[in-house]
Amino acid sequence: MSSKIMNTPFKKLALPLTVALGALCATAPAYALKTIHSERSLYRNLFVTEDGDLRCLTFRRATAGTRQTCFDKTQPDFLYFPYARMMIGSLYLNPNPGRILIVGLGGGTLPMTMRGILPNATIDVVEIDPAVTKAAKEFFNFKEDDKLKVTEEDGRVFVKKAIKAGTQYDLIMLDAFEDDYIPEHMLTREFLQEIKTILVPGGVVAANTFSSSGLYPYESATYAEAFGKFYNLKAANRVMWAQNGPLAAQETLDANAKALEPELEKRGVKSGMLFLMLNARQDWPDDARVLTDQFSPSNLLNTRVK
């Protein structure tokens, strides 16, 4: 995708953008869900559901609206959710990260996709809930190996230990996300500063969060304070791409996307669709308050904007 798209007048893009995003974000038909596994863990209710070849992991209640991970058993490498494609698209900023940290396992979609694309990368996954790890392995083909390991503990605790150990990462993916909740201690300026500490210079952060919420301006201001300018992508979810240093230019993203195209397109990641969403403009008020360890009332701020 040419870098010209970033400077194209909005009116010229309005129709194709609407059509493209409509296709990307179309709501799937209601499913006659069959629950094949249910469990009450220390942290949540957990369900694995099926409808035909579609298998999904859900939290809290077994409904289509609370799905965390889904895959089609006939094409398990295809990324079912747009947000997962947006997260994997962060490789456009750095196409060959040698060491990767993923906070939040779900069904294991992100680490298994990264393993397939980058077989030589070392991948650390942090998941607080052992029941989620167990479900990912039993129902979603997630597998650990000598370079892909899961640590079962709080994500921020893991990051603090990594700082103490001097461990650094080329790519960090923040996906500790449920239908209506991100742990508040992983939304704050202090947490993002800790994340930045374990990033190599030029290292990339990809964060899955909310596209429409009372938290939106607060999160935006917090990421901007920690990283400066960042790329924003919005569909049903919002994904932010940030870097520890200057943000890669569109020309760099174009070149990396072309190199990655054979691996990413077979997983449903298309640079043209992502670049239509991509922007680095400020779309939050200048006076939006930064979230801190002393001010992070996500339970009050996280009301969906209709």
pLDDT digits 0-9 by tens, 241-270: 999 999 999 999 999 999 999 999 999 999
pLDDT at position 15 over 60: no
Fold of 8-23+78-301: Rossmann fold (3.40.50)
Q: How confident is the model at residue 274 (pLDDT cuts 50, 70, 90)?
A: very high
DSSP secondary structure, 175-235, as one string: ----SS---GGGSSHHHHHHHHHTEEEEEEEEEEEESSBTTHHHHHHHHHHHHSS-EEEES
Q: 5 vs 41, which has greater pLDDT?
A: 41
Distance CA 14, CA 8 (A): 10
Amino acid at 225: E
Amino acid at 42: L
The predicted pLDDT at position 211 comes to 85
Mean pLDDT of the region 2-8: 35
Q: 236 vs 37, which has greater pLDDT?
A: 37
Q: Is position 175 annotated as part of the catalytic site?
A: yes
The structural domains of the chain, with segments of one domain joined by +, span 8-23+78-301
Distance CA 60, CA 178 (A): 9
Spatial CA neighbour of 193 closest among 237, 163, 150, 214: 163
Q: 138 vs 3, which has greater pLDDT?
A: 138
What tens digit of pLDDT does each residue of 78-101 get? 999 999 999 999 999 999 999 999
Among 124, 129, 170, 175, the one annotated catalytic? 175
Tell the burial category of 30 from Cβ atoms under 10 Å away from its Cβ (0-12, 13-18, 19+): exposed
The predicted pLDDT at position 297 comes to 85
The predicted pLDDT at position 65 comes to 60
The predicted pLDDT at position 256 comes to 98
The predicted pLDDT at position 236 comes to 85
Cα end-to-end span (Å), the chain: 32
Please name the residue that has the structure tokens 């979609």: 109
Cβ count near 304 (within 10 Å): 12
What tens digit of pLDDT does each residue of 116-153 get? 999 999 999 999 999 999 999 999 999 999 999 999 99
The predicted pLDDT at position 63 comes to 64
Please name the residue that has the structure tokens 């499913």: 31
What tens digit of pLDDT does each residue of 201-247 get? 999 999 999 888 889 999 999 999 999 999 999 998 999 999 999 99
The predicted pLDDT at position 80 comes to 95
Spatial CA neighbour of 204 closest among 168, 233, 172: 172
Give one word for 69, left, alpha or beta, with left for phi > 0 and alpha for psi -120 to 50.
beta
Mean pLDDT of the region 8-13: 35
**Pairing relationship of beta strands 169-174 and 199-210 according to DSSP bridges:** parallel
Q: Which of 14-18, 179-183, 238-242 has the lowest mean pLDDT?
A: 14-18
Q: How confident is the model at residue 59 (pLDDT cuts 50, 70, 90)?
A: confident
Mean pLDDT of the region 15-26: 42
Q: How confident is the model at residue 12 (pLDDT cuts 50, 70, 90)?
A: very low
Q: Across all residues in the chain, what is the average pLDDT?
A: 88
Which of 169-203 are b and which e, b meaning 16 or more Cβ less than 10 Å from the residue's Cβ? bbbbbbbbbeeeebbbebbbbbbbebbbebbbeeb
Structure tokens given for 110: 């992100």
